[in-house]
Structure 1
Amino acid sequence: MSVNQHPRVLLYPRIRKSPFFYASRRHGVAMYSVYNHTYHPRHYGDPIAEYWALLEGVTLWDVGVERQIEISGPDAFDFTNLLITRDLSKCAVGQCKYVFLTDQHGGILNDPILLRLEENRFWLSLADSDILLWARGVATHAGMDVSIEEIDVGPVQVQGPKSYAVMRDLLGDAVADIRYYYLHDFQIDGIDVTVSRTGYTGEIGYEIYVHEASKNAVRLWEKVWEAGQAHGLQVIGPCHIRRIEGGMLAHGADITVDTNPFEIGMGYDWMVDLDQEADFIGKQALTRIKAEGPRRKLVGLEIDGPDLGTYNDGSMIDVLPVHAGGTRIGEVTSACRSPRLAKNIGLAMVSVEHSEVGTALQVDVGARDDSGSDLVSAVVVAKPFIDPTKEQPKSDVTALDASAPRRTGPVAGG
């Protein structure tokens, strides 16, 4: 029997379409996946070229799969504070926060961006899980006056060092006033949009949330594309090489409901505020887990052996077992070849006794394509692999020389 290494994904009415589906497919989508029950463009033919386009220029992404859940009503603040592990009183109107939603056992249900639009109106820009159902279930028993709806709002991302130039042409000089992880409302040719300085890249970037997306999304896409032509805008899929370099988490891979925030490391402990007066779902369990200490840790690995690909190219179809002393002690959850580092890198969940930087391990890279066991050497390294203090996305956009390429590393473009 032969294995078809590249089966097609069926496009048909049963699976939802992003509001930008018919716009983004015009640019030659080469691979789709399904995210939040919705078709999602993964790349347009050359993920390595897309990586360099992100680092050196400006890119446009269809991320309409990030469904927007709006929480509103008189008790919206208290209800939202019940869902998330951070202290919502520290989030001002007009601010965004990266948050965890945990269950009663402390497991991570989702890691959305939270946007606070008004005192009692919030959006959760979701990763891949059914939080609308969860939130409505919680609301049924919460006894609070709150409305929870999936709203007709769809985001696109404009990312890369020239993203400010594109956004300035679209919105005017006022876009310079949007600070990192803040938002502002604008109009683009009569289309209402909310713009935040956020993104899934570790680069300078913005997300444009188009209102009445079912009506306006394609026209908004065309406006962004038109504004980007003078700056070399390219349409790409989510750049997993860059997000792995930056230690950014993928829900369903690096974190799941079986992962708790204290296993992640990398400074994410501050995302669980156990000292706040308010309660939240999972607080009791996470208090216990913190006191006992986690049994596993998500670590960075440098991995020897063959090129591990770009993660979003079908080269990693399963987790990669991690071994120490002949015993499986964890698994690589995301891996790729970093062009800048000229190394295979990955995020791996391993037993805590094997999580110290410098620990020698082995990774079974044969598991990535079902080719059998193929153990190669690996070593635990600090993560994020690049820009650990996130200086790049926080850069002063008005001072950025957008024409200066930032390509570094021993292998230019490859």
Structure 2
Amino acid sequence: MTLDEGPLTLDDGLGAVVPDPRILLYPRLRKSPFFWASRRHGVAMYSVYNHTYHPRHYGDPVAEYWALLNGVTLWDVGVERQIEITGPDAFEFTNMLVPRDLTKCEVGQCKYVFITGEDGGILNDPVLLRLGENHFWLSLADSDILLWARGLAINSGLDVTVEEADVGPVQVQGPLSGQVMAAIFGDGVFDIGYYRLQEYELDGMEVIVSRTGYTAELGFEIYVKNASRDGVRLWETVWAAGEPFGMRVIGPCHMRRIEAGILAHGCDITFDTNPFEVGMGYDWMVDLEQEADFIGKAALTRIKEQGVSRRLAGVEIGGAPLGTFNDGSMIEAFPVWRGGERIGEVTSACFSPRLERNIGFAMVPTELSDIGTELDIETPAGIVPAVVVPKPFVDPTKDTPKQAFVAGNGHPATEN
């Protein structure tokens, strides 16, 4: 069967395949601290992420995309479980987990990091928050890193505690996010730098605010402690502040993250891919010169010396408009063909509303990853032409999320 054959129809008397099956809501799967609050806004589709129900969209992913680009949006991202690492040896242990040199991470700073296995594969790509000299949170993507970290801690000989904190984040994203955040926290929130954090007390709730997000737009994340108790109250507080600014509740906007070159664990990066293959083997992201002997250092040193045989390339894809990626339109990776031979796969793809073309990421042989290389990609509509193009597709220097604010009105202004 090829992808262009469409949905299968069973001929064994059991009936046709249901193209859009429901997801079962029941006690075995976890609920985020904001589950009941975000549900009130009309969740149309859930997926399961970190064993937890995750709202994917609220009925119209394209309208959600434009709300993100033009206004302000609120996201339930309580599925980003927080692994808390504390104890006298917490710094040494955390520095062992990730290829970044954490001696360059100050208290009050956040870092996008990989967690690598002994073979250099990417086990997770969390945002790391450094709350103290020996106090870290890992805001996880989708994989069981709590079990990995606890297993390592048991046999490390280090005095360290690894546990899941009762913490839940929401994201406030979009060009009006500063105005909403100032309405909640005051103009001092504008002083939080890009990938920095600040602690607040908000009506008896303990929260941490960071200038981070999964959008490459201007935005913030709010992490509420005691989330099982205060999660819904935080949500209602943010929503009340956002309503005057036309806030919209949305799911993770994959069209925007694909435009921005942001990778999704489980699709674009997996246990079987390494930082050099996905174009993120930067010296600061994988610091092979640091003193710490992090897990995977020997393998990544060897990979860098030998080079890689495949790379994750940006592709512009022909044919009919694709879906939004989070609408169930991309059930499997799309095969990539060259000269009648399958040579790779598209890991994420969508139709970009503002670019008005199909874009995505394709893992292909290194020699076919150069800009301008022509490929064929098998989409649900059939085999269509494609070409390798630069990624990110929009704002490659991330000027948008790095913007500073004009105090007093919350509007962004370009930093000097």
TM-score (norm 1): 0.94
Corresponding residue for residue 10 of structure 1 = 24
1:227: how far off?
A: 0.3
TM-superposed CA distance for 1:396, in Å, is 1.2
Instruction: Classify the secondary structure of the residue corresponding to 1:77.
Output: helix
Residue 402 of structure 1 and its aligned partner are, at CA, apart by 7.0
Residue 41 (structure 1) shift: 0.1
What is the CA distance between 1:397 and its match in structure 2?
2.2
Matched, 1:161 2:169: no
For 1:382, the equivalent position in structure 2 comes to 390
The 2-side partners of 1:229 and 1:26 are apart by 15
Structure 1: distance between partners of 2:91 and 2:409: 40
- Residues in 2 aligned to 1:297 and 1:364: alpha-carbon distance in whole angstroms: 19
Q: Is the 8 A contact 2:101 2:284 kept in 1?
A: no
Match of 1:393 in 2: 401
Match in the other structure for 1:227: 241
Q: Which residue of 1 aligns with 2:49?
A: 35
Q: Deviations over 1:381-400 (max 9, x none)?
A: 00000000000000112279
The residue number in structure 2 matching 1:213 is 227
> Mapping of 1:214-293 within 5 angstroms?
214-265=228-279, 268=282, 270-293=284-307
Please name the residue that 2:59 is paired with.
Answer: 45
In 2, Cα distance between equivalents of 1:269 and 1:157: 29
- 1:77 aligned to 2:85? no
Say which SS state the counterpart of residue 189 (structure 2) adopts: helix
Matched, 1:139 2:153: yes
CA deviation after TM superposition for structure 1 residue 36, in Å = 0.2
Amino acid at match of 1:295: S
**C-alpha distance in structure 2 between counterparts of 1:124 and 1:253, whole Å:** 20
**Offset, 1:270:** 3.1
- Percent identity over the alignment is 69
Residues 188-207 of structure 1: CA distance to partner in whole angstroms, max 9, x if unpaired? Answer: 21111000000000000000
Per-residue Cα deviation, 1:169-218 (whole angstroms, up to 9, x for no partner): 00011101100000000122111100000000000000000010000000
The whole-number CA distance in structure 1 between the counterparts of 2:329 and 2:122 is 26
- Farther-moved stretch of structure 1 (393-402 vs 328-337): 393-402
Q: How far, CA to CA, are the matches of 2:378 and 2:43 in structure 1?
A: 31
1:118 aligns with 2:132: yes
Tell me how far apart the structure 2 counterparts of residues 158 and 248 of structure 1 sit (CA, whole Å).
18
Conserved 8 A contact 2:75-2:249: yes
Structure 1 residue 329 displacement after superposition: 1.1
Counterpart-to-counterpart distance in 2, 1:328 and 1:354: 12
Q: Cα offset for 1:99? A: 0.2
Instruction: Write the distance in 2 (CA, Å) between the matches of 1:294 and 1:392.
Output: 32
Distance 1:397 1:97 in 2: 21
Give the drift of 1:403: 7.8
Deviations 1:269-299 (A, max 9, x none): 5310000011100000000000000111011
RMSD: 1.3
Would the aligned equivalents of 1:266 and 1:383 in 2 still touch at CA under 8 Å?
Answer: no
CA contact (8 A) 1:161 1:402 kept: no
| Contact 1:266 1:384 (8 Å CA) reproduced | no
Task: Give a deviation string over 1:22-77, Cα, whole Å, max 9, x none.
Answer: 00000000000000000000000000000000000000000000000000000000
The alpha-carbon deviation at position 242 of structure 1 amounts to: 0.2
